[in-house]
Amino acid sequence: MPQEQKAETSVLSMKEKYFDSEREMKNRLNSRGIAGMEFNDLEEEKKDPQQNMEGLNRRQKKMLKGMKTAHSTKKMLFIQPEKEWAMFNSKTVYMESTKDENNVKIFEFIEREPYKEMQNEFNAIKQTQDIFMMMDFLHKNFFHHETLIAVSDFYKIQGKFPDAVKLVQRCLYAFEILFSKDFIIC
């Protein structure tokens, strides 16, 4: 009788196909029974990229295609950027690593002067509690993380969960762009 060989598998091993953030969001939100989640609408928007180019001249189409390819130069771990997202300006915040006395690397986000001005403007808008001013600020500062989270919370209260998910994804993408090369995600 031939003996059956047992394949040894590690308890901690995972296949790459399970690292799909969009599918994970669908599973998490749908498993809680959140009504109104229409992810099929989001997927239909992605299917036809030529639809957005109608009415543009050749120069505008070339610029738009260049912007789309500029997003896809790096494979992201958490979120892949949407085609309609603006380019990320990494000149305002960056991640820096330092070593403490035990020779352990500590990472922190360093804010530059333009970001501090942007943060002061956000704090002033937050004091007014005007959601329209906050959305206008978000339109000007596409990846400001506190604004993204605040407007996402507003959308969740309104029951607009797909919009809230999109804003959280933008926030995750912005932080992932800022990660230092030495920063390893475990």
Per-residue three-class SS string for 106-144:
EEEEEECHHHHHHHHHHHHHHHHCCHHHHHHHHHHCCCC
Q: How far is CA 108 from the centre of its chain?
A: 19
What secondary structure, in 3-state letters, does 2-21 show? CCCCCCCCCCCCCCHHHCCH
Q: Strand 93-99 vs strand 105-111: parallel, antiparallel, or unpaired?
A: antiparallel
User: Residue 19 and residue 86: Cα distance in Å, rounded?
Assistant: 25
pLDDT per residue, tens digit, the chain (186 aa), is: 555 555 566 556 666 666 677 777 777 666 555 544 454 444 444 445 555 566 667 766 666 666 555 444 455 667 777 777 777 777 788 788 887 778 788 888 888 888 899 899 999 999 998 889 999 998 888 888 889 999 999 999 999 999 999 999 988 888 888 877 777 776
Phi, psi (deg, nearest 5) at residue 179: -55, 140
User: Residue 169 and residue 165: Cα distance in Å, rounded?
Assistant: 6
User: Residue 160 and residue 22: Cα distance in Å, rounded?
Assistant: 17
Token pair listed for 160: 């607009």
